[in-house]
Structure 1
Amino acid sequence: MNILIALVIILAVITAGHLAITLGLIRRLRAHTDLLDQLADTTDMLLPTGTPTPAFTTGTLDGAAITQADLRHPAAIALLAVDCPHCRVNLPEFVAYVRGAGFPRDQVLAVVTVDENTDPTARRDMLDALTPVATVVCEPAADGAVTTAFDNQAFPAFYLTGPDATITTGSHAVRKLPNTTTIPTPAHH
């Protein structure tokens, strides 16, 4: 009987320890979520409204050269990192956003950054999700042409531009972009 009581006490102590660890993890996750929400709400690390689309020259996933002048406006621009969990969360929302807003593929630029430790499967999945809806650029995380031009300091970053090629909105979360019903398609030049 004493052995049974001792086992129950030991199990109670172990259970209490696991409960304390679980509560600590929940507290940390809430703090992390709060930080991500603060990042999504801040525009301090984004280019301000009214800024002209920054100049860049790079290559697309299809092998074509592209500059900021080649992007048709109004446009949606996404700066994403494969290794960024918040980017992966926002990816399907961004795809749904540009489809729902009626952006043609040539009015959407998606820049995906990678480094030497990026999981090739995660890279392929992100590129495959974006290719049907966007002109896609894949560049190194350290010194990519587009992320450098945009002075990107935090991922993800989403921008909308107006017909005059100036930034009208910037956000770190798709849910913070304005509800847009239909994007006017500009006449070809």
Structure 2
Amino acid sequence: MSVLAALTIVLTVASAAHLLVTFGLVRRLRAHTDLLRQLAGSNDRLLPPGTALPAFAGRTTDGSTVTEASLQHPAAVALLAVNCPHCRTNLPDFVAYVQGAGYPREQVLAVVATDERTDPAAHKEMLDALAPVATLVSESGTQGTVAAAFGTQAFPTFYLTRPDATLAVGSHAVRGLPDTTAYRSAPADR
């Protein structure tokens, strides 16, 4: 009987320790979930709606120059990085979004950022996916001329502009962009 009592005590202690570890893990997961929710929902790193489109000049992949003045509005702007997993996840959604919203290629600007670790095949793949729907600029990281003009601190970043070349909305995920019909004809906020 003493062996059975000892085994019961050992199992009870082990179960209690396991329960304490589980509670600790759940508490830590909740804290991390809250932090991720704040980060994902944070628009602190985005230019606010109503801001005039920042001045920029970038060399497109076809050799021409695109500026804030040459971009036709309303427009959709995507700032993506080849080495960003979230950018690759959002890429097909962005292509579908601009196609579904009826943006012609002249009203879509996609900036594709690279760095020294960028795989040339992945870079080409991203450019090929965007080429049918966007004017393309390929530059180096957040220090490229277009990304720097937008104050880009995180990839991906998406903006929609109004007909008067002011920013209507910004998001770090395509799912955060609204139905564009309201922005394609809405006047600027006063």
2:143 counterpart of 1:143: yes
Greater RCO, CA 8 A, separation 6+:
1
Residue 40 of structure 1 deviates from its aligned partner by 3.2
Given the superposition, is the C-alpha separation of residues 181 and 147 from structure 1 closer, same or farther in structure 2, using an over 3 Å criterion? same
Structure-2 separation of matches of 1:39 and 1:163: 30
Alignment of 1:95-114 (within 5 A): 95-114=95-114
Q: Rg larger in 1 or in 2? A: 2
Over 3 Å counting, the alpha-carbon distance change for 1:107 and 1:36 in structure 2 is farther
| CA distance in 2: counterparts of 1:94 and 1:49, whole angstroms | 20
Aligned to 1:73: 73
Amino acid at match of 1:130: L
The question of whether the paired residues in 2 share the 8 Å contact of 1:102 and 1:182 is answered with no
Q: How does 1:1-189 map to 2 (within 5 A)?
A: 31=32, 37-181=37-181
The answer (yes or no) to whether the contact 1:101–1:183 under 8 Å persists in 2 is no
Identify if the C-alpha distance between structure 1 residues 161 and 181 changes in structure 2 by more than 3 Å, giving closer, same or farther: closer
With normalisation by structure 2, the TM-score equals 0.77
Runs of 4+ in 1 over 4 A off after TM superposition: 33-37, 181-185
Cα distance in 2, alignment partners of residues 65 and 112 from structure 1 = 15
SS of the residue corresponding to residue 69 of structure 2 reads helix
User: Shift in Å at residue 116 of structure 1?
Assistant: 1.3
When residues 104 and 86 of structure 1 are mapped into structure 2, their CA distance, relative to the original with a 3 A threshold, is same
Hey, what's the Cα distance between the residues in 2 that align with 1:93 and 1:36? Answer: 21
In the aligned structure 2, how far is the partner of 1:174 from the partner of 1:45? 16
Deviations 1:71-116 (A, max 9, x none): 0000000000000101110000000000000000000000000011
**Match of residue 12 from structure 1:** none
Gaps in structure 2 of 5+ consecutive residues: 1-24, 186-190
Question: Per-residue deviation at 1:147?
Answer: 0.5
Q: TM-score, normalised by structure 1?
A: 0.77
Kindly report the root-mean-square deviation, in angstroms, between the aligned alpha carbons of the 2 structures: 2.3
Rounded to whole Å, the distance in 2 between the matches of 1:90 and 1:159 is: 14
